Structure 1
Amino acid sequence: MNLIYDRLVKRSTTFSICFALLLIAIKFVSWWITDSYSLLVSLFDSSMDFLASGLNFILIRYALKPPDDDHLFGHGKAESLAALAQSAFIIGSVIFLLFNSIKLVIHPTPVNYPIVGIIISSVSTVLTFALVSYQRHVIKLTGSNAIEADMLHYSADLLMNIAVIIALSLSWIGIVYADGVLALLIGGYIFFHAIKIMFVALQDLLDKALPESDNQKIYELAMSFSDIHGVHDIKTRRSGPITFVQLHIELDDNMPLVKAHAIADKLEKMVANQFSPAEVIVHQDPISVVANEKVGLQKFK
């Protein structure tokens, strides 16, 4: 396992937990003073962030464990489970908040001391932007799905803070229904955002193949060998940070086994370097066998 990956992902999850706790404290004080429902929605979201980040903290550390006798392919899927759990947390909380936002739109109430909420929400916005920027940096270096899910809901939190500032500003000038309307819009945005996170996590758990562009890269790497006459059955998937690749290469019938093995071994290393960290298996097929299989398939059709 890549040590840099481990260090960056662990550090990011630790920062997320500490940050969520800080935001909960800040937003609770702000909501207590202002009685703003938009701030309550934001506080509730930060509480869900804390629970999700805590779960992320545990599952990612499990996902980073090396393979053992019972899990020969490692524990990487725990990372996708963390992303799935986060989305479930978020969806459940947002449904509750949406119903209450609708009530507030129908029966708006004034906000107390909106300037206090504006100042505190501005501080939260700056802090959230700093965390999201760091997480984006970590994702660029690691490609972690769980950290991406974490970043997505903190990005939603960033937009929420901005929306809260707008709602409080409008309430300050007497537009009392703005608090409920903005809370409703924020909740709707987070809901659809969570659905997207859930879909991505499910795709990873179901072993979705890498993009076609990645398969093309694998094909081009294989065909860069003059002794390889064809490539077929490229299969790819991802489990946590590790990419798994299998492919068949077509070689001359009379090629010595030692040479065929050396070609396959070199290709495995090239593909692994391209998609690091990766586990690659290259199967060597005699070209005549491949041709006979194709003829057999045509007769069957």
Structure 2
Amino acid sequence: MTAADPLAPAPAAPAPLTPAEAARLTRRITLMSVGVALVLVALKAGAWAMSGSVAVLASLADSAIDLVASLTTLFAVRYAATPPDAEHRFGHGKAEAFAALMQAGLVFASAALVGREAIGRLISPEPMAAGGWAMGVMAVSILLTSGLVYAQTQVLKKARSVAVTGDRAHYLSDLGSNLAALIGVAGAFLLGIVWLDAAAGLVVCLLLLWAAIGVLREAADQLMDHELPPQDRAEIVALVLKDPQVSDVHQLRTRASGPYVHIQMHLDLDPALTLEAAHGIILEAEQRLLARYPAADILIHADPRGRAGPHAGAFSGRHDAADRPLEGS
């Protein structure tokens, strides 16, 4: 085995996906999510019917909610990828955020139902039947869910999707709930610790609440037009300033909308440039941005350096607070 050459060039980063490629990838992973959810619901329903375990019931409720959420995600990512039309000039990307918002609400409801059942069983414990079958089902559920979460993680490294992110959050909580259910069933069936089953149900309830809060926060960010992360904003500025003819970038505004990002900014250019020359500089800046963000909608306004007057509009302040975090980047 030979040592790696420290002077060798680093491997090239994978090329960003086009909107069509990202849409294909998210559709494929959501179909996989629906398939896994169907299998898990069927397995857990059978295990609960045979064992009466509240931990398995909690995990079944979680998987049933995941099935509804995955179906919602499937339709949301398809609709979000449709191109802009006469009534939706900014596209349909926020359909993903609405789907994630609904997912969060469903998970909150599921957590409440599971918590109530678990507390009832803690007060009035009941013996468990067919615990071996229930344990086997939970073990299979852990394997299937782990595979799906891994696949979703790989997709999210390549394509932005708040709906898939929300779906992945559900299945991450599933991993915890399946493990808690397995421990609860094993303790109640093998060791005779009946209350451990209900305690595992309460743990699942808390995991569901935590996952719902995370999904709700991310969906709200998109619906409220939250700015892209600081590192993305800094990268956008750096890409535009690669052209020495651009002396400054200000009034940068960004937001995500499903698989798309929207970018607006003002550039300071030499006032002696012709309109055609300024237009060419802007087009080249757009191409640099699109190479990094293929699913971007970009709007750039040119200002004559040193001669630009104040702009009108509700958000027209040149040195507004939104620009200040970039000054040190």
TM-score (norm 1): 0.94
Displacement of 1:289 in angstroms is 2.3
CA distance in 1, matches of 2:180, 2:37: 19
Q: Pick the aligned partner of 2:275 from 247, 257, 263.
A: 257
Amino acid paired to 2:25? L
Amino acid paired to 1:229? S
**1:243–1:276 contact (8 Å) kept in structure 2:** no
CA distance in 2, matches of 1:165, 1:41: 11
CA distance in 2, matches of 1:61, 1:270: 28
Amino acid paired to 2:242? S
Amino acid paired to 2:263? V
Residue aligning to 1:192: 210
**2:95–2:258 contact (8 Å) kept in structure 1:** yes
Structure 1 alignment gaps of length 5 or more:
none
**2:248–2:268 contact (8 Å) kept in structure 1:** yes
CA distance in 2, matches of 1:222, 1:22: 49
CA distance in 1, matches of 2:101, 2:129: 38
> Matched residue pairs, number?
295
* Alignment partner of 1:215 is 2:230: no
List structure 1 runs of 4+ shifted beyond 2 angstroms.
none
CA distance in 1, matches of 2:231, 2:32: 34
**1:30–1:116 contact (8 Å) kept in structure 2:** yes
5 Å-filtered alignment, 1:61-140, equals 61-140=78-157
Q: Deviations over 1:101-120 (max 9, x none)?
A: 11212222221122221111
**1:63–1:75 contact (8 Å) kept in structure 2:** yes
CA distance in 2, matches of 1:18, 1:185: 26
Amino acid paired to 2:119? I
Residue aligning to 2:177: 160
Displacement of 1:219 in angstroms is 1.5
CA distance in 2, matches of 1:282, 1:106: 64
Residue aligning to 1:12: 29
Q: Deviations over 1:222-258 (max 9, x none)?
A: 2221111211100000111111101111011111211
Structure 2 alignment gaps of length 5 or more:
1-17, 312-316, 319-329
CA distance in 1, matches of 2:117, 2:139: 24
Residue aligning to 1:59: 76
Residue aligning to 2:194: 176
Q: Deviations over 1:43-77 (max 9, x none)?
A: 11111111111112222211111111111111111
**2:177–2:207 contact (8 Å) kept in structure 1:** no
**2:30–2:74 contact (8 Å) kept in structure 1:** yes
Residue aligning to 1:145: 162
CA distance in 2, matches of 1:215, 1:289: 26
Amino acid paired to 2:265? L
Amino acid paired to 1:270? R
TM-score (norm 2): 0.86
* 1:112 partner SS: coil
CA distance in 2, matches of 1:220, 1:143: 21
CA distance in 2, matches of 1:289, 1:175: 79
Amino acid paired to 2:282? A
Residue aligning to 2:326: none
CA distance in 1, matches of 2:300, 2:27: 33
CA distance in 2, matches of 1:159, 1:114: 19
* 1:100 partner SS: helix
Task: Give the root-mean-square deviation of aligned CA atoms.
Answer: 1.6
**2:80–2:93 contact (8 Å) kept in structure 1:** yes
**2:84–2:91 contact (8 Å) kept in structure 1:** yes
CA distance in 2, matches of 1:186, 1:11: 28
Amino acid paired to 1:18? G
**2:184–2:196 contact (8 Å) kept in structure 1:** yes
Amino acid paired to 2:145? T
Q: More displaced, 229-238 or 274-283? A: 274-283
CA distance in 1, matches of 2:36, 2:211: 21
The structure that is helix-richer by fraction is: 1
Amino acid paired to 1:204? Q
